[in-house]
Structures are given as C-alpha cells and as structure tokens.
Amino acid sequence: MQMDLIPVLPDDIGLQCLIRVPYQDFSSVASVCKNWNRVIELPEFWRHRKASGLTRKVVVTAQSRVNPTRDMGLKKYAPVYRLMLCEPETGYRAELPPVPGYSDGLPLFCQLVGVGLNLVVMGGFNPVTWEASNDMFIYNFVSTTWRRGVSMSGCQRFFFSCTSDSIRTIFVAGGHDREKCALKSAMMYDVPEDKWVMLPDMARERDESKGVFSHGKFHVIGGYDTGRQGGFQTGAESFDVATWQWGRVQADFLNSAVCPRNCVDDGDGKFFMSRGGYVEALQGSTWQVVAKLPTNVRHISYMIAWHGKVLVIGPEKYGIVYKSFLLDLKTSKWESVEEDVFLGHVQSGCCLEFLYMDTGTQMDLIPGLPNDIGLECLICSWNRVIELTEFWRLRRAYLTQKIIVMAQSLVDPTRAIGLDKYAYSAYQLTLFEL
C-alpha cells in the first residue's frame, strides 16, 4: 500500500519538507521509515534539492596531519592522510570515518570523487606497504557507511584523471601503468549499478592530466605522454557522452605547458586555474587574470570553484601549516576560511552539493503557505504520524530505547519510621519502550 510521505499533507508538500533536511541528518531521517529512506535515495529527490536554489558546496579533501608515533625511513614524522569535510562559506569542519582497512591513513595519491550522495575513494598506494591498488571505496552520506565497489578495470592505473557527472557516473582517463607508460584508455563507472564500462581511447596518452565534467562532456586537460615524462602538454580533448565519441584535440587549451592540477570549472561551464601567483579565468580562448593570490597562499595544493566563488588551499612556503581562502568573484575580494591547527597538505579533493537551511534567512515552513498555516499543518500531520501503529513498529525496529518510570516517595527528613531517620520506597515500576 502506498503511504503518504507525511500523513495529511500532499506528497509534493511532503517532499518539499524532506528536501529541507540538513545533510548531517540524512541518516536519522532515512531510519524513520522505509518510505523516507527510499525517497532520499531517488535521483528525483536529488534533482529537487539541487533545483531548489538553496544549495551549499561541501568540500571533502584527503588532507594530512602529522602523526609523531609513526616513523618512515629517515623521516621523523610521516604524513597521515584522512578525509576532512568542510563548508567553506561557514568554516564548518568534520572528519569522516576512515576507509575500511586503512587505519594507518588513506591510500597515498588516491583520488576523491563526489557523485550524488556518495563520496568515492579510488586507487592509490597502501601507506604502510606501498602496494598499489585499483580499489574503490564508496561512502554514502545517507547511511553514513562505507562499502567496497568493483575495482577499476584493466591494468593498475596511477595518476589518472577522474571526475563525475554529480549524479551517478564517474569518468576515468589516462594515467600510467606499472612500467610508467602513459595511457590513453578511458572508462566510466556507474555507482548505483557498481559496473565499469570501457570508453573509446583518447587521441593521445595523458599522464597526470585533469578531468572535468561540464555540459554533458568529459574533458581531459593537459598531461604528458610516455616520451616526455613531466613535459606537460597544453592541449585537451573532450568525450561527448551523448554521441559516445571524442571530439577534436584542442591544441592550445592551457596556453602554456603547466601542470593542470589546479584547472577547475565552476559547474556553469566556466574554467579557472591558478598560475604565476594569480587566479585566471578562461574567456573564449584566452586566459585572463581575475585576482591575485593572497600572500599567505603562494603554493596552491588544492583549488575548486563554484557559482561565483573560488577556494584555494596551500601554504605561503613549503613546510608550514596550510591555509584556506575563499574568493568572491563579484567583488574580487579574498576571505580567510576558519583556520584549523591540523590543516596540512591536500593530495586530492572533490565537491558535493547539499541543500542547507540558512538560519539567517526567513523561509516558509511549507512553500506557498503562510507560516502560521504551515505550522498548523505540520503539527497536525506529526500528531497523526506518532499515533500510527506503523510509526511505532518502525521506530521499535530502528530507534527504541528502554525508559523506566517509577512512583517513588519523597524523602521527609522530619519523619522517622522505626530506626530509619529517612525512609523512602519505590511503590511502582513501569517499563516503557520509546
């Protein structure tokens, strides 16, 4: 039998209520009932959240911290990488649960990709044994749990480019194999189906290239071939998912032979990159300076852009604590993101987009209704929800706790019974499950 999302309310209004849940509470909301859990996992739910106009970027980075108990070779302190979640616009930070089997830190040189409500950790080297792998680990923000995905197809692949369509598909291209031979093969991974599909080969080998997905195309930027180790190319090529083919190579996309690590797009088709102490934007076929980097950040470790904002992370000089700055492209002004004493080198990162409730902005409880009527609807609907037998059955299956209620006498210090100066008793005990 089809159940209403929220009894008494139409499903479209019920959906509007659910899409306003903060992402930190997804796990709790999903555990209320199977219907809510099913809805939160639907692509339509994600699209509604994204189309609502109330989105905030969440950045997840593989970031180092110094572990003084660990010694590697002649180094007294070796970096240990862990997953850090950050809301750049609020300064909120949190550490995510470790990847299963990697208690000594994340795989070195692993890649991070955000897709839908999932974070994917791909490839890298075991931080203790230095054994390479094509492993895939997927963290779901609804269940707040990890699962292992199907390993990357083909040979072991290192320093590859990767990105996602932000909905369900991850794209991988280039890198090099065990013999340090650059690759031109490419493939894509369907996260819900847990399945790899090979794509046509690129026109050129591309080791250490940058992957960007924009307007239905997988762009692979820069990189170098086997015969030019570290000699970066300026070109790029794009795979059109609709036509299932690569377009012509753009020979001078970057204008100069630089590492494309910090070449990013803002989600609206605009490209940005940092080089020579400046942030540049691609205007037509020309890169133009939009802002000078802060003096506190001269060596960019990680950069990301979105809807009028650019975030950079890095140190003023090597060997010191990293700092984060957020650029407002409208005003060309930098703002320091709240500092973290454990902020260290970023080896990779990605962005996810979640709906948030801005506490500084007045919002309708139910869109289209005055707040007093919306409040009455919510009170009425929740009163009916908690009276349903189904609600308590589901709650008992997931979230019940034992509560003891006693009828207990008060202590009267002026009264003595027998030899006891103070007397009290528990007259009745009842066990509740709520």
Sign of CA dihedral 130, 135, 139, 145: negative
- What CATH class does 55-355 carry? mainly beta
Q: What is the pLDDT of residues 112-127, one digit of tens each?
A: 999 988 999 999 998 8
Cα–Cα nearest to 314, from 275, 266, 270 = 275
Q: Can you give the pLDDT at residue 322?
A: 84
Bigger pLDDT: 266 vs 394: 266
Other beta carbons within 10 Å of 357: 11
Q: Report the interhelical angle of 11-18 vs 34-41 (nearest 10°).
A: 70
Q: How far apart are CA 273 and CA 279, in angstroms?
A: 6
Per-chain mean pLDDT for the chain: 78
Q: What is the pLDDT of residues 341-399, one digit of tens each?
A: 446 788 899 888 764 333 333 444 455 555 555 545 544 555 555 555 555 555 555 45
266 bridge partner residues:
none
**Average pLDDT estimate for 78-85:** 85
Q: Can you give the pLDDT at residue 72?
A: 41
Name the 3-class secondary structure at 138: strand
CA 187 vs. chain centroid, Å, equals: 22
Query: Of 62-71, 86-95, 129-138, where does mean pLDDT reach its minimum?
Result: 62-71
Q: What is the pLDDT of residues 216-243, one digit of tens each?
A: 999 999 999 998 888 999 999 999 999 9
Would you kindly state where each structural domain of the chain is located, as residue ranges? 11-52+360-400, 55-355, 401-434
**Average pLDDT estimate for 312-339:** 85
Q: How far apart are CA 127 and CA 106, in angstroms?
A: 7
Name the 3-class secondary structure at 35: helix
Q: Can you give the pLDDT at residue 361?
A: 38
Residue with tokens 């083909």: 154
How many CA atoms does the CB half-sphere of 309 hold within 13 Å? 19
